[in-house]
Amino acid sequence: MISYLIEEPNVTSAHSSDGNRQPNREVTGVGGNGIAMLFLLLINLLASGGAILLLLADPSGGLVIINGLLLFSFLFILSGFYSLQPNEAAAITLFGQYKGTDRPNGLRWTWPWMGKKKISLRANNLISQQIKVNDLRGNPIEIAAQLVWRVTDSAQALFDVEDYRGFVTAQVEVAVRTIGARYPYDDFEHKEVTLRGDHERVSGELRTELIERLAVAGITVDECGFTHLAYAPEIAGAMLRRQQAAAVVAARETLVSGAVGMVEMALAQLSGKDVVVLDDERKAAMVSNLMVVLCGERDTQPVLNTGSLYQ
pLDDT at site 309: 41
Residue 207 pLDDT grade (very low, low, confident, very high; cuts 50, 70, 90): very high
**CA-CA distance, 33 to 3, in Å (whole number)?**
12
What is the tens place of the pLDDT at every residue in 214-248? 999 999 999 999 999 888 877 656 666 666 666 66
Nearest to 179 by CA among 203, 196, 198, 149: 203
* Full strand arrangement of the beta sheet holding 32-33: 32-33, 106-109, 81-84
- Compute the average pLDDT of residues 138-160: 92
Q: What is the pLDDT of residues 53-91, one digit of tens each?
A: 666 656 665 566 777 787 888 888 888 899 999 999 999
Question: What counts of helices (H) and strands (E) characterise the chain?
Answer: 8, 10
Helix (H, G, I), strand (E, B) or coil at 24: coil
H or E stretch covering 107: strand 106-109
pLDDT at residue 136 in the model: 86
Q: Where do the H-state alpha helices sit in the chain?
A: 3-6, 34-57, 61-78, 154-159, 164-180, 199-214, 233-272, 280-295
Pairing of strands 32-33, 106-109: antiparallel
Measured CA to CA, the distance from residue 123 to residue 221 in angstroms comes to: 9
Region label for 151, one of left (φ > 0), alpha (ψ between -120 and 50) or beta (otherwise): beta
All domains in the chain, ordered by first residue: 3-118 (no CATH), 124-231 (3.30.479.30), 236-300 (no CATH)
Residue 208: phi and psi, rounded to 5, are -60, -40
Q: What is the pLDDT of residue 190?
A: 67
pTM to 2 decimals? 0.67
Q: In what order do the strands lie in the sheet with 115-120?
A: 97-102, 88-94, 115-120
